[in-house]
Amino acid sequence: MVERADERADSGVTSAVKAVNAVTAAPWVRGRVLAALAVLTAGLLVFHRAMPNSVGRLGSLLEAFLPWLGLVVVVLFGAALLRRSAIALVALLLPVAAWTHLFGGLLLPAAKPGARELVVVQHNVSDENDDPAGTARALADAEPDLIALEELVPRALPVYEKALARDFPYHAVRGTVGLWSKHPLTGVRLVDIKPRGITEAWSRGLRTVVHTPHGVVAAYVAHLPSVRVRASGLASSWRDESAELLGRAVAAEKLGTVLLLGDLNGTVDDRGLAPLTSRMNVAERGFAFSFPANLPLARIDQVMARSATVGHIRTLPATGSDHLPVAARITLG
């Protein structure tokens, strides 16, 4: 009887120890799936260039919405708290660090305006815009030095010219893109960025020289072909081809300082715009999601510069377009 009692006592102690160990180890055991998802999210952020683009342009599709992986991190964090999973919480440090490295700087406040700055506005005004006069007034209210417009249609062009004439006495239009300026323009010419597969009349690029108070600047305005998200992936071959043509034009530009304003139908993380982003500086502050206007998910309206700094970019209030206008401050070197 004594031996049986001792055995029961030993068994009770062992069970108690196991219970304590289980309670102690539980936070490090449960939530392993969440931890794996956190590591996967970090991998997508850090190694997004490794995502193949040969099938369905999956790499470009991921990069178009890359900042939104931050929401995945938030969801995983909430799930880890509910599960009381220590291993998942520790694993989440990886995507948090990766997202902060890639996009944290965009959240920092803009620097104070400098002496050699230009303010520029970029806007796809939409060929279905029913209020071009109101759109022009809204853009002028930002008091920019330059206004770049795309999807200028013949019926609306005279309205923009009249509405902007007082504050922007210089302007140039080629095809469906145009630039309005407070400073003189010279050397206006068409930039051919038309993909081979487009057979109809198509003119969406111009180049001009802006004579600013801080020196001459080559300004390019462009509207790259649209992309489409389909069941097979991202259809962007025409956009990519047009970006390559525009990149070559910028590379051949003899003036040192270059500005590029346009609806590029791609984000600065999208490898399809690499012919441009590899040669030019992009905005250092601000997300400025510009499309679609009613639920902005990505900034496809871009302001880039060579031998100059795009210090901050922001969106302006909605107009009659399906895009939001963006305004940027550029510091000339």
Closest CA relative to residue 63, chosen from 74, 52, 48: 48
pTM of the model: 0.89
Write down the pLDDT at residue 13: 45
User: Which ranges constitute the DSSP H helices of the chain?
Assistant: 2-29, 32-46, 58-64, 69-83, 86-91, 93-103, 132-140, 157-164, 237-252, 274-277
Q: Count of H helices and E strands in the chain?
A: 10, 13
Write down the pLDDT at residue 16: 44
Tokens for 33, please give them: 């799936």
Write down the pLDDT at residue 231: 72
Residue range 189-243, pLDDT digits in tens: 999 999 999 999 999 999 999 999 999 999 999 999 999 887 767 889 999 999 9
Separation between Cα atoms, residue 247 and residue 258, nearest integer Å: 12
- Between 19-23, 129-133, 228-232, the lowest mean confidence (pLDDT) is in 19-23
Write down the pLDDT at residue 115: 79
Residue range 283-310, pLDDT digits in tens: 999 999 999 999 999 999 999 999 999 9
Report helix, strand or coil for 66.
Answer: helix
Closest CA relative to residue 205, chosen from 125, 260, 168: 260
Q: Taking every pair of C-alpha atoms in the chain, what is the biggest distance, in angstroms?
A: 108
What residue segments make up the domains of the chain, in order of their start? 31-106, 112-332
Average pLDDT of the segment spanning 151-162? 98
Separation between Cα atoms, residue 95 and residue 108, nearest integer Å: 19
Separation between Cα atoms, residue 208 and residue 177, nearest integer Å: 12
Write down the pLDDT at residue 14: 54
Closest CA relative to residue 46, chosen from 100, 10, 89: 100
Write down the pLDDT at residue 30: 82
**Is the pLDDT reported for residue 150 higher than 70?**
yes
**Is the pLDDT reported for residue 20 higher than 90?**
no
Separation between Cα atoms, residue 223 and residue 144, nearest integer Å: 20
pLDDT band at 17 (very low <50, low <70, confident <90, very high): very low
**Is the pLDDT reported for residue 249 higher than 50?**
yes
Q: Return the CATH class of domain 112-332.
A: alpha beta
In the 8-state DSSP scheme, what is residue 281? Answer: B
Write down the pLDDT at residue 7: 54
**Is the pLDDT reported for residue 33 higher than 90?**
yes
Report helix, strand or coil for 191.
Answer: coil
Average model confidence (pLDDT) for the chain? 92
Residue 207 burial (C-beta neighbours within 10 Å; 0-12, 13-18, 19+): buried
pLDDT band at 8 (very low <50, low <70, confident <90, very high): low
Write down the pLDDT at residue 3: 54
Separation between Cα atoms, residue 325 and residue 121, nearest integer Å: 7
